[in-house]
Amino acid sequence: MTRILLLFVSMLCLTSCGPRHGHLRHSSADQVIALDRADRNQWQRPIWLMQTLKIRPGMRVVDLGAGAGYLLPHLSKAVGPQGQVIALEVDGDLLAQLRSMVKRLNLTNVKVVRGQPLGVPIPTQADLALMVNTYPELDNPVEMLQSLHDHLKPSGRLAVIDYMVDLKVAGPPQSERLSADTIRAEARGAGFSELQTIAGLPRQYCLVFGRVEDQASDQVSK
Residues 6+ apart with CB under 8 A from 67: 32, 33, 35, 36, 89, 94, 132, 133, 134
- Cα–Cα distance between 4 and 6 in angstroms, integer? 7
What is residue 144's predicted lDDT score, i.e. its pLDDT?
A: 84
C-alpha gyration radius of the chain: 16
Say what the pTM is: 0.80
Please give the tally of structural domains in the chain: 1
Task: Report the candidate in 71, 80, 175, 81 with the shortest Cα–Cα distance to residue 131.
Answer: 71
Residue-number span of the structural domain to which 107 is assigned: 4-221
Per-residue model confidence as pLDDT tens digits over 74-96? 999 999 999 999 999 988 899 99
Considering only residues 98 and 220, tell me which one the structure prediction assigns the higher pLDDT: 98
CA torsion 149→152→154→157, rounded to 10°?
Answer: -90
Please tell me whether residue 190 adopts helix, strand or coil conformation.
Answer: coil
Residues 6+ apart with CB under 8 A from 216: none
Q: How confident is the model at residue 199 (pLDDT cuts 50, 70, 90)?
A: very high
Per-residue model confidence as pLDDT tens digits over 126-177? 999 999 998 988 878 888 888 888 889 999 999 999 998 887 776 677 878 9
Other residues' Cβ atoms within 10 Å of the Cβ of residue 108: 11
What is residue 214's predicted lDDT score, i.e. its pLDDT?
A: 54
> What CATH number is given to the structural domain containing 104?
3.40.50.150
CA angle, 154 then 156 then 157, to 5°: 140
